[in-house]
Amino acid sequence: TAAGSTAQLKQLATRDVESAAARLQLSALQMERWISAKAAEPGAQEVLSKGTASARGDAATAFCDGVANQAKGVFEGVAPSLIALVDTSGKIVGRNGSTLSRGDDVGASYPAFKDAIAKARSGSDVWADPARGDAYLASYAPVRDEAGKPAGALVIGMPVNRGFTSTRPTA
């Protein structure tokens, strides 16, 4: 009878959407807190203070690879697809597993993210790129220089299509 009742189907669908939204918010908050601790580590600031773009890029990739390895055991065995270090202009300095994204301007694509970098705020959002056909739950946290001023941000991204909403951090 439930399948024949439009009112019941609507009620079930509404409850499912509200549950998914709540899980999405909880996952984002957990990722945000975790990545904030990593962004506060001295290694993140050291990467952004390297003298040349090449040195920053190589150090950022190594740093992000390390953070990605640490994340493998945190979110119930689901490793993030994206860990990136971004400078104050909103451009990727380096990311885990690849040198391909260096210089990509994520700040231009996500203005709220660029604003968060300028104000040294953490946050979360869904980042979607229709051209590549991907969508991430992205959480980010400020990286500060020795004086405490914004030096960039550290980003973690879990693909929306991986079913991350069923994962919970274990640490």
> pLDDT-based confidence at 162, cuts 50/70/90?
very low
pLDDT number for residue 27:
76
CB atoms within 10 A of CB 42: 8
CB 95 within 8 A of CB 161: no
pLDDT number for residue 3:
62
Name which of 46, 70, 32 is nearest 144 in CA terms.
Answer: 46
pLDDT number for residue 167:
45
E strands in the chain? 82-87, 92-95, 123-129, 134-144, 150-159
Residue 164 has pLDDT above 50, yes or no: no
High-pLDDT (> 70) share of the chain, %: 88
Segment 28-85, tens digit of pLDDT: 788 899 999 999 998 899 999 898 999 999 999 999 999 999 998 787 767 789 999 9
Q: Supply φ then ψ for residue 110, to 5 degrees.
A: -130, 80
High-pLDDT (> 90) share of the chain, %: 51
Segment 105-123, tens digit of pLDDT: 999 999 999 999 999 999 9
pLDDT number for residue 123:
94
Q: Which helix (H) or strand (E) holds 67?
A: helix 53-71
Residue 129 has pLDDT above 60, yes or no: yes
127 or 9, greater pLDDT:
127
pTM attached to this predicted model: 0.82
pLDDT number for residue 57:
95
Of the spans 10-14, 48-52, 75-79, 166-170, which averages the highest pLDDT? 48-52
- Chain-centroid distance, C-alpha 21: 17
